[in-house]
Chains A and B, each alone.
Chain A
Amino acid sequence: MSSRIKNRQRRDFLRGSLTMIPAITLGSGVTLTAQAAEPAPNLSDYQPAFFSDEEWSFLLAACDRLIPGESEGKGPGALDTNVPVFIDRQMDSPYGHAERWYMQGPFVLDGSPDLGFQYPYTPRDVYQKGIAMTQAYCQQQYGKRFETLDNDTRDTVLKALEANDIDFASLGESQKLEASEFFASLLENTKEGYLADPIHGGNKNMAAWKMVGFPGARASYRDWVDQHNVDYPLGPVSLTGERG
């Protein structure tokens, strides 16, 4: 539970810094919501392009534990902000296909971390294998799929992944992909989807930016260099032109 408390504290800190910035005030109470050409989809309507339905259920359940929604945290959660959509879209990007990585051997697992990623797997492979083995573990341990476990048990499983306490090799992993590697990718991508520009599919309605008070991609803040001790009055703007 300590990690949840830490997360809570972190979010409280982020929210705390937000309270110093008054709620976004706009002239004559006009809501300046942009008419984005393609509004962000509802998560429930979204058809994943890469993940299978079963993998998708895992991803939703896992992201929901990494950044829980309003009921548990005090800010928007990963599911409120379409983080799984971000991850699904990334799987079809050059990143998902490891297009720009050196993917030939030798793969030196005991080398220095400077050598970088050392598996013959693309991020797509890491997700597919990681999810399959985590599900196999949950079946073995609890006789259930991950997404049907209660929240505390899901957290236990995720922590075991993070601590590398789940032995992927015994679950059939041949290339020595470790549970902690999979967890690290999942956590990293979840954070990215939460905080990246909505143009990439996550951070729906710039909710994460609004929570932390980040003003987004306004390209230049030169006019604020000389304005000391003045609250920044503008809401965020996305690369898509969406305004908040």
Chain B
Amino acid sequence: MASQASQASQAFSADDDTVERGAYLARAGDCVACHSTEDGKSFAGGLAIESPFGTIYSTNITPDKEHGIGNYTEAEFAAALREGKRADGANLYPAMPYPSYARLTDDDVHALYTYFMEGVAPVADNAPETDLSFPFNQRWGITAWNWLFADADTFTPDTSADAKIERGRYLVEGLGHCGSCHTPRGLAQQEKGLDDGSDSYLSGADLNDWWAPSLRGGDGGDGRGIEGWSAPEIAEYLKTGRNVHATVGGEMTSVVAHSTSHLTDEDLTGIALYLKSLPANPAGEKATTSDQRREASEKTDAHLTAAKDLSEGERLYLDNCSACHLNDGKGAERVFPAIDGNSLVNADNPTGLIHTILAGATPPATPAIPAQLPMPGFGWRLSDDEVATLATFVRGAWGNDGDAVTADQVDKVRKTLKPSALNRAPDANGSLNHEDRDTQ
């Protein structure tokens, strides 16, 4: 293996800059998130990705010649990346975001190829084979899918537009593949729009029951979510996982940890400016104005502060939540996220909120903010009924307008929880919980 690696590096005449640029681009593409398991070696594959068609296992993309992609030529690598074609001609499953990576420039593909051949250690491990049931095991069928839906061209910057925004557009549409989660999918699981030519592009989507909110940050909507964030606030969120409005949760936690927190401020600013340039989802008929929301927020705040004639949901909030998220539902900037106006709290599907209440959440450690102050889980302390009552309250309190939550919905989420240090009852017998800390 060592001799192979050194041969490879000789063949590429050690272009450190290109390797480094490729490593940066691999960060931007968050390749490591899918092509590694939690405990496995980087890029050795094997992560089980749940799809509507079954479990898809990511592949080993280290330069190992037998188990990885060590025998790929640059042209084969480019075809895998941009067209979803394996070196043997078979189609990759579109869990690989090649419809987005199709935007990549030749230059960037070259840098990525150089990095994966020279900068990544080969790992001689076989990732598990994906074995979907019929008809989804017929990879040839993807050809038609690709013809219909994976039609993006290589990115060509619009020279008349702001260069920073164009850089952001390239990253968002291409390597960032933000649309994979944030663009709603159609009947064939295709993203409804791969670029801003479509109003559906980045307009928000349900991802395995978690709401991936709209990233269309411009004007014309109801002013909530990212529409109310400034470009620097968006960049800060991507860099640190936090800003004055929110703390990252769910799948996005890993994206911030592995990808966006490693990007340059210039690129993050470009991404933020691009998102702010997308016209917002139009406000629905029932949309509230910011004045109405402010008034409602003040009312809830005053009622909780007086603490008289409380509903059970209000009492649960005071007893469990308000110490951190406060009576105004605004929390504390960069430490405790705001619940008032929070996109996860208001999502049509309450699963993400229920999961967070039951299991807690840990923000990512980022280079800029390494500390991870977690929210504890309340699953050990609150019954399904209580969680439903509490979730219903926070979804209707302040300026929020989410629907009620039922105990059945809570029960369903509770059954999916894995035991963790954050959702376990404290040991009242006085253990110092060293074990808990080790397993977090």
Which residues of A does B touch, CB under 8 Å? 25-28, 30, 32, 34-35, 37, 89, 92-95, 197, 199-201, 218-220, 222-223, 227, 232-234, 237, 239-241, 243
Contacts and interface: CB of A to CB of B under 8 A. Distances in A.
B385 A35 contact: yes
A241 B382 CA distance: 7
B246 interface: no
Contact of A220 (B316, B323, B386): B323
Nearest to A99: B430
A27 B310 contact: yes
A35 B382 CA distance: 8
Interface of B: 304-312, 315-316, 318-320, 322-324, 326-327, 378, 380-383, 385-386, 425-426, 428-431
Contact of B428 (A199, A222, A233): A199
A237 B309 CA distance: 17
B368 to A, nearest CB: 28
12 contacts: A25-B308, A30-B311, A34-B386, A37-B380, A197-B428, A201-B428, A220-B322, A220-B323, A234-B318, A239-B426, A240-B381, A241-B381
Contacts of B309: 25-28
Contact of B312 (A30, A89, A93): A30
Which of B306, B383, B430 has the most chain A CB atoms closer than 10 A to its own CB? Answer: B430
Given A227-B305, A234-B310, 7 more contacts: A35-B383, A35-B385, A35-B386, A94-B429, A219-B324, A233-B306, A241-B319
A237 B316 CA distance: 10
B430 A94 contact: yes
Contacts of B426: 199, 239
Given A199-B428, A220-B322, A243 B315 contact: yes
A197 B429 CA distance: 12
A240 B312 CA distance: 17
A199 B430 CA distance: 11
Nearest to B319: A237
A32 B389 CA distance: 12
B307 A233 contact: yes
A95 B312 CA distance: 37
Contacts of A239: 426, 428
B383 A219 contact: no
Query: Per DSSP, are chain B's interface residues mostly helix, strand or loop, or mixed?
Result: loop
Given A92-B429, A199-B428, A26 B315 contact: yes
Contacts of A26: 309-310, 315
Contacts of A227: 305
Query: Per DSSP, are chain A's interface residues mostly helix, strand or loop, or mixed?
Result: loop
Given A26-B315, A218-B319, A233-B308, A223 B327 contact: yes
Contacts of A222: 323, 326
A93 B305 contact: no
B322 A223 contact: yes
B319 A243 contact: yes
Which of A218, A220, A227, A241 has the most chain B CB atoms closer than 10 A to its own CB? Answer: A241
Contacts of B326: 222-223
Contacts of B322: 220, 223
Nearest to A232: B307
A93 B315 CA distance: 33
A200 B306 CA distance: 31
A92 to B, nearest CB: 7
Contacts of A92: 429
A92 B430 CA distance: 10
A202 to B, nearest CB: 11
A200 B381 CA distance: 14
B66 to A, nearest CB: 52
Nearest to B429: A93
B429 A89 contact: yes
A205 B431 CA distance: 24
B430 A95 contact: yes
Given A94-B429, A239-B426, A223 B305 contact: yes
B429 A234 contact: no
A37 B378 CA distance: 12
